[in-house]
Amino acid sequence: DTAVSQTPKYLVTQMGNDKSIKCEQNLGHDTMYWYKQDSKKFLKIMFSYNNKELIINETVPNRFSPKSPDKAHLNLHINSLELGDSAVYFCASSQAYRAETQYFGPGTRLLVL
């Protein structure tokens, strides 16, 4: 039974399109995160939600918009995709403010052509 799941696992799309990545956790955690692993392999936090409220918003273009319909879900919408958006996106969850105990999803590999 997967703790943190993401869909899709792979996403290939054209520049300018709008796409969404979904994330669900069944751990009962109240904090969820989105990370981007870029071409240099650094994992960088993009957003964090606690109880459906945005608590961390790093300097991410506003083409990226997270949406948390409930505590178990945190979706990532990306508008007007650009080549530089190609990366692996990881969703994670943890108990409130216990960043050291984050559980990660398998990642979504996004390729923008």
Partner 1 sequence: DQQVKQNSPSLSVQEGRISILNCDYTNSMFDYFLWYKKYPAEGPTFLISISSIKDKNEDGRFTVFLNKSAKHLSLHIVPSQPGDSAVYFCAASEGAQKLVFGQGTRLTINP
Q: What does DSSP assign to residue 100? A: G
> Is residue 55 within 8 Å of 95, Cβ to Cβ?
no
Question: 53-82 mask for partner 1 (x: CB under 8 A)?
Answer: ---x--------------------------
Site stretch for partner 1 (CB under 8 A), options 11-19, 65-73, 78-86, 100-108: 100-108
3-state secondary structure of 97: coil
CB of 81 to partner 1, least distance (A): 23
> Apex CA 80: angle with CA 72 and CA 64, to 5°?
35
* First and final C-alpha spacing in the chain: 34
Residue among 4, 32, 74, 81 that touches partner 1 (CB under 8 A): 4
Chosen residue from 63, 67, 77, 98 binding partner 1 by CB under 8 A: 98
Q: Is the Cβ of residue 79 or residue 106 nearer to partner 1 in the bound state?
A: 106
Which residue, among 60, 108, 110, has the nearest Cα to 81 in the 3D structure?
A: 110
Tokens of 6: 């993401």
Q: Which residues of this protein are in contact with partner 1, per CB under 8 A?
A: 4, 9, 35, 40-45, 48, 56, 90, 92, 97-107
